[in-house]
Structure 1
Amino acid sequence: MRTSTEELTRQLGEIDADSENLHITRKKLLTLPMPSPAAEPERPDIPDHPAHQQILTALTDAGRRCPPATSARPSTCRSLPKNTEGIRSKLKLLVSRGILVETEPGLFARPES
């Protein structure tokens, strides 16, 4: 019985020490400054040229005209205004900036949110 009393007294001492350490840690944590709120993810810069905005508008409109089951379907350069090569180079620039994705060669879409 004496051994179990000594063992319990030792365990109680360890618990008291752990409790004191937790109390000190809590006090220390409360003195630390609060972290700043997480910043919103940076949005890619859309180039200033009006053609880039027209491309994005055309892709958005194409998505609205498709049936719901295919609304996420990518558009090709041919589905956009004339001057295919000029449009393709602008699409590639938008892809390089992360504004669009090229799902397959020649197929462009807005990235999934």
Structure 2
Amino acid sequence: MAAPTEADCIFCKIVAGDIPATVVRETERTVAFRDINPQAPTHVLVIPKAHYPNAGALAAAEPELAAALLTEAAEVAAEEKIAESGYRLIFNTGAGAGQTVFHAHVHLLGGERFHEGLV
């Protein structure tokens, strides 16, 4: 069962169409859109349409939806033509890890070579 939306969540507002976003891919359960503050030539956020505050909560409640985020990220990477050269997937979970929007999401970054050893 999907979690409810949160009235003050910017990502829930994007899902509802109340806030515009540059959507690059959408499924019945996920949306992928360009980050408004890109950290790489390709920087796309993949989110579940259902609201979960972070990746851990999403994985505990709906592991198949958490897996769908990874599948969609791979599809976006292929469509963006960065699958062969490589890309990075990042889940920030909690304010201490840099999470600023408390709706589960994965950052897809690519289009440039990342430094060796950078975690």
TM-score (norm 2): 0.28
Higher helix share: 1
Which structure shows the higher strand fraction?
2
